[in-house]
Chains A and B, each alone.
Chain A
Amino acid sequence: MTPSMSSPNDGSPARRIALTGLLAALALIFSYVEVLFPLNAGIPGIKLGLANLVPLVIMYRMDARYAFAANLIRVLLAGLLFSGLFAALYSLAGSCVSFLIMYLLKKTDRFSIIGVSMAGGVFHNLGQLAVAILLVSGPQLIHYMPVLILSGMTAGIIVGIGAFILVERLPAKLFL
């Protein structure tokens, strides 16, 4: 056995990949919880996006690549399990745009995790809206944009506060 494999906390790629899979499963549970108890404040189609906690925390404590992988797995599985192929397309578009924006904002190093999450929430909704405009009913859907921006901000800030607490408090040895 090589020395690098002897310690359980040695930060090997295999360990990170396993952890990524575990966290993707956790994110899937978050998605499931939101299917069971939709926190939408009375507006249909709006949700909190608890599952975005996972890529945020991974991005800040591990690496954006693992965050992207975990998020992609979660979106695909949750889409296929809970909402069907067509809705999975919407989710995928939303989460890819959202992830890209969060990654870029974090890279600038000018935003806190709460700001990054807020932008992620907004662009998740805008990405979905873009797909809806392309696929369904054309530009009059832009009427819906202010609602989507505001709800994305609200959800993003709430999730961002949660991610902030988690990033502060999760033990360091978890993310080696």
Chain B
Amino acid sequence: MIASLRKADILLFFFFLALAALIAALPLVRVSGGSDEKVRIISGGELVGIYPLENDIEVEVKHDGHLNIVSIKDKKVYMEYSDCRNQICVHTGEITRPGDTIVCLPNYLIVEITGNEGGGDEDDSVDVIAK
């Protein structure tokens, strides 16, 4: 059986090995680390909007005559301004990771980051069922 192997077999064998190694070594864009992380703003139980964490933006949220300003900057989210009494939301500071939230109870406002939960390694991003 070994004797039946031809030179081309061996070459092809090493070609496939080299191809696999080459692709494994390629500096491919890693999917993890926030490209699909989003900021959800919920006011009075209603979704105001979903914004990508990547883009810097200031969102003014008005609800029941109250005003909040949510700021997304350098992949960080913080409450820029709130006219609420206790200012807990403003003092929460910056949030950066999926699952983090800023809550302003007096104004019924929730800001949360969603995305690959827990930072996620790249294996989690490829999830296909095929038998």
Contacts and interface: CB of A to CB of B under 8 A. Distances in A.
Interface of A: 45, 82-84, 87, 90, 108, 110-115, 118-119, 122, 128, 132, 136-137, 140-146, 149-150, 152-153, 161, 164-165
Interface in B1-38: 1, 4-9, 12-13, 16-17, 19-21, 23-24, 28-29, 31
B83 interface: no
A114 B4 contact: yes
Nearest to B4: A112
Interface stretch (B44-52, B66-74, B100-108, B121-129): B121-129
A165 B126 CA distance: 38
Contacts of A140: 28-29, 31, 125-126
A118 B128 contact: no
B81 to A, nearest CB: 39
Contact of A110 (B1, B8, B21, B23): B8
Contact of B12 (A90, A111, A144): A111
**Interface on chain B toward A: helix, strand, loop, or mixed SS?**
helix
Contact of A111 (B6, B16, B126): B6
B13 A136 contact: no
Interface in B77-112: none
Interface residues of B, number: 25
Nearest to A153: B16
By CB atoms of chain A within 10 A, which of B9, B17, B24 has the most? B9
A144 B16 contact: no
Nearest to B29: A140
Contacts of B122: 143
Contacts of B8: 108, 110-111, 115
A87 B130 contact: yes
A112 B9 CA distance: 7
Interface string B35-68: 0000000000000000000000000000000000
A151 B8 CA distance: 20
Nearest to B25: A146
Given A90-B130, A110-B8, A142 B125 contact: no
B96 to A, nearest CB: 23
A114 B5 contact: yes
A115 B6 contact: yes
